[in-house]
Amino acid sequence: MGILEKIKEIEAEMARTQKNKATEYHLGQLKAKLAKLRTELQAPPKDGKGGGEGFEVQKYGDGRVALIGFPSVGKSTLLTALTGTKSEAAAYEFTTLTCIPGVIHYNEAKIQLLDLPGIIEGAAEGKGRGRQVIAVCKSADLLLMVLDASKPHGHREILTRELESVGVRLNRRPPSIYFKKKKTGGISFSSTVPLTRMDDKLCHRILQEYKIHNAEVLFREDADMDDLIDVIEGNRRYTRCLYVYNKIDVCSIEEVDMIARMPHSIPCSAFQNLNMGGLLERMWDSMALVRVYTKKVGGKPDFADPVVLSADRGGTKVESLCNQIHRTLAADFLYALVWGTSSKHYPQRCGLSHQLEDEDVVQIVKKKVTTGGEEGRGRFKTTKKEPARIADREKKAALKT
């Protein structure tokens, strides 16, 4: 029996099984079996080919956003509207056959936007170009799920299920469960909060399915068996997603109003250029990028060319900033002077672990290098402390923009 048949069989058994306290343990075991098979299904094909022909697009810019949706919802029209890069759009389905990259310039940052072929129900199992599309989605920092506002809203659930089945979790945080495999000692199961959907026996049953006999499991929230399986599998991708309801030009004002009130949802029309600004603003907020303006001693902050940090990619600490500028900068780091919302006073002298915030101005002071020669090159110089007078000027400059 192939993996797909096995999956179908387990799904059928789960559908037959009544959900109650008595069947809970069996259900847990079935869910674990299903999760294992799905992971197996996603393993790269053994023939050595990645199967991602034309889909490997080089990462570019400060973040990556992917357009996912059914055929002909307007993904390509949207790419063209937002980036100016032309992606073929037409009234027939599957116009787009590969991954087309474009770049959005917004708030001095560069965001890569990827247009993708339409996907259909069953994409996760390899229908159409589903697998390649999903692989690209997994590499994105933000998904824009494009939906046709004039069509039934059930499409959103179908696509969410497809993504769920390949381990993509939309707008969710990883479960707060500590899990560590051990060599001996059996299974230790505990929790810091009362649990309503998990108990010792269910946890054992699921771990048994994974042939894990020694482990420490600590629930820090009232999580359920799906959460535990996600933590054991360890390959889940937690991605932010915005639901972009396109083609509102053919909807009633009441429908548009309803969409605008739903969480993570934006009504727009790529074709009529309606609410493109609103969409960009929401994208920007969702990505939570942190722009840091660096400045040299006595110089003005470089407001035109921020270093863009992301909590999802590399973090937003002073250390992340150093790493992004140069790989050896953190090692030469003495302290940083920070002006902005993250600092208590202007400037605040900070260490590598200080969390930066959007639009902070930072000056990095390096350790004195005694060997000489390379000093004073690049973005920063080795110096004495900044006089308060200059600091004050910079504070004003930093707050103005």
Ligand X SMILES: Nc1nc2c(ncn2[C@@H]2O[C@H](COP(=O)(O)OP(=O)(O)OP(=O)(O)O)[C@@H](O)[C@H]2O)c(=O)[nH]1
Part in contact with K ion (CB under 5 A); list of ranges 23-31, 95-103, 211-219, 312-320: 95-103
Interacting partner of 270 out of K ion, ligand X, Mg ion, none (Cβ under 5 to 8 A depending on kind): ligand X
**Minimum distance of ligand X from residue 68's CB (angstroms):** 10
**Minimum distance of K ion from residue 71's CB (angstroms):** 6
Residues in a beta bridge with 146: 69, 244
CB contact at 8 A, 103 and 112? yes
**Minimum distance of ligand X from residue 98's CB (angstroms):** 10
**Minimum distance of ligand X from residue 123's CB (angstroms):** 12
Q: By C-beta, is 81 or 124 nearer to ligand X?
A: 81
Bridge-based pairing state of the strands 215-219 and 177-181: antiparallel
Count interface residues toward ligand X (CB under 6 A).
25
| Span 66-95, contacts to ligand X by CB under 6 A | 69, 71-77, 89-91, 93-95
| Contact residue for Mg ion among 35, 68, 74, 76 (CB under 5 A) | 76
Q: By C-beta, is 75 or 129 nearer to Mg ion?
A: 75
Query: Which residue has the CB atom at the shortest distance from ligand X?
Result: 118
Tokens standing for 143?
């998904």
CA proximity to 290, closest of 382, 379, 354: 354
**Minimum distance of ligand X from residue 323's CB (angstroms):** 37
| Span 331-360, contacts to ligand X by CB under 6 A | none
Q: By C-beta, is 27 or 133 nearer to ligand X?
A: 133
Part in contact with Mg ion (CB under 5 A); list of ranges 48-56, 68-76, 127-135, 230-238: 68-76
CA proximity to 3, closest of 43, 30, 47: 43
152 Cβ contact partners less than 8 Å away, ≥ 6 residues apart: none
For position 118 contacting ligand X by CB under 6 A, the verdict is yes
**Minimum distance of K ion from residue 72's CB (angstroms):** 4
**The dihedral of CA 120, 124, 125, 126: what is its sign?**
positive
Interacting partner of 267 out of Mg ion, ligand X, K ion, none (Cβ under 5 to 8 A depending on kind): none
CA–CA gap between residue 8 and residue 113 (Å, rounded) = 35
177 Cβ contact partners less than 8 Å away, ≥ 6 residues apart: 217, 218, 219, 220, 221, 223, 227, 228, 231
CA proximity to 297, closest of 256, 355, 336, 333: 336
* Contact flags string 60-89 toward K ion, x per CB under 5 A: ------------x-----------------
CA proximity to 116, closest of 91, 103, 135: 135
**Minimum distance of ligand X from residue 328's CB (angstroms):** 44
Bridge-based pairing state of the strands 109-115 and 63-69: parallel
CA–CA gap between residue 292 and residue 315 (Å, rounded) = 13
| Span 267-296, contacts to ligand X by CB under 6 A | 269-272
Q: By C-beta, is 206 or 242 nearer to ligand X?
A: 242
CA–CA gap between residue 124 and residue 135 (Å, rounded) = 10
Three-state SS at 165: helix
Part in contact with Mg ion (CB under 5 A); list of ranges 67-75, 158-166, 213-221, 243-251: 67-75
**Minimum distance of K ion from residue 100's CB (angstroms):** 13
Q: By C-beta, is 75 or 240 nearer to ligand X?
A: 75
Instruction: Compute and round to an integer the Cα radius of gyration of the chain.
Output: 25
For position 96 contacting Mg ion by CB under 5 A, the verdict is yes
Identify each DSSP E strand in 279-369 by its residue range.
Answer: 289-294, 307-310, 333-339, 348-350, 360-366
- The residues of the shown chain that bind ligand X, judged by CB under 6 A, are 69, 71-77, 89-91, 93-96, 117-118, 246-247, 249-250, 269-272
- The residues of the shown chain that bind Mg ion, judged by CB under 5 A, are 75-76, 95-96
- The residues of the shown chain that bind K ion, judged by CB under 5 A, are 72, 95
